[in-house]
Amino acid sequence: MPKFTSNFGQFLNQNFMGILYFASGMFLFAAVDTIAKVLTESFHPVQVAWSRQLGLLFGILIVLIFKGVTILQTEHVWLQVFRGCLAGTSALIFIFAISMVPIADAVAVSFVAPFFVTILGALVLGEYVGVRRWTAIAIGFVACLIIIRPGFSSFQPAVFLVVIAALAYACRQILSRILSSSDRTITTVAYTGLTASFLLSAPLPFVWRTPVWGVEILLIVALATLAAFAEIMVIKALELTQAVVLAPIHYTLLIWGTIYGWLVFGQLPDEWTWFGSAMIFATGIYVVWREWTRKTAPQGQ
């Protein structure tokens, strides 16, 4: 009994720390999105997206100096590079979107990403998806349409950029599942940071504007630093706790995004956005619960 109690206590403590790390990462990512939106008022989204990668790139270069290029050893170089390109592309598209739409609306629509992951998991990885999960996905997309409201006066076409960014993010997650069986986490992170930074550097000379010392420099430093810390928090959380346990915490992004949007820009979601967000939250939690029961059910059931 003491041994069982000790192991159970260790399990709870590990999950608690994982949830704490992940929640902190979501809080920081919301702050990063807010800073990025502020910067798009003065800088091109390409420069903002590139600046967002600086913190992670700097961290990777330090790791390369101390651990050497062995962390780049992989049997799937092109898959790693492709994942990095998706990371850079999804970040850039999302920043383009939040330069035109409220943060809370963009975050709410981005929650279709888990549904895309489920669909791609079935199509690419051959994962089983039952009728109830397909129904949840369909409801999630209806909720997304409620938030976007195409054809209505409040419709903002830029919101569809968030859907594209969510699809790119989902593709990254599928590649992560494929790569996790052969490559270390640090290898995937290194390729992602290096490739995304290189990709965003290509068009940078055409849109570059030198930041002015003072507030602009501080915002860019904060953007890069917080983005790097947020990535580290999420990676650490996934090392400690299963993804299905952490998945519901992802929805706290909407809370922080709404608070930041109100405090910084004076923007609050309308009643339809709240209604659609609640539908996405409920169906998302259901999909997570189904994933949890599938993984924890005894074999043969």
Cα within 13 Å of Cα(37), Cβ side: 23
Judgement on whether residues 215 and 89 belong to the same structural domain of the protein? no
Task: Output the pLDDT for position 8.
Answer: 46
Decide if 199 is inside a domain: yes
Q: In terms of domains, do 177 and 291 share one? A: no
Closest CA to 166 of 101, 106, 126, 224: 106
pLDDT at 288: 66
Q: Structural domain tally of the chain?
A: 3
Host domain of residue 28? 14-43+209-265
Q: How far is CA 1 from the centre of its chain?
A: 41
Please report the DSSP string for 1-22 in residue order: -HHHHHHHHHHHHHHHHHHHHH
Per-residue confidence (pLDDT) for residue 300, from 0 to 100: 45
CA within 13 Å, CB half, 113: 23
Question: Are both 137 and 278 inside the same structural domain?
Answer: yes
Residue 283 lies in a domain: yes
Q: What is the b/e burial string over 224-260, where b = at least 16 CB atoms within 10 angstroms of the residue's CB?
A: bebbbbbbbbbebbbebbebbbbbebbbbbbebbbbb
Walking along the chain (301 residues) 10 residues at a time, the average pLDDT comes out as 51 72 89 94 94 89 88 90 92 92 83 79 78 79 76 69 89 84 85 92 94 91 91 79 70 83 82 79 72 57 44
Q: How far apart are CA 42 and CA 271, in angstroms?
A: 31
Q: What is d(CA 26, CA 39) in angstroms, rounded to the nearest whole number?
A: 20
Show the tokens assigned to 175.
Answer: 């590649």
Residues 283 and 167 in one domain: no
Judge whether 8 lies within some domain.
Answer: no
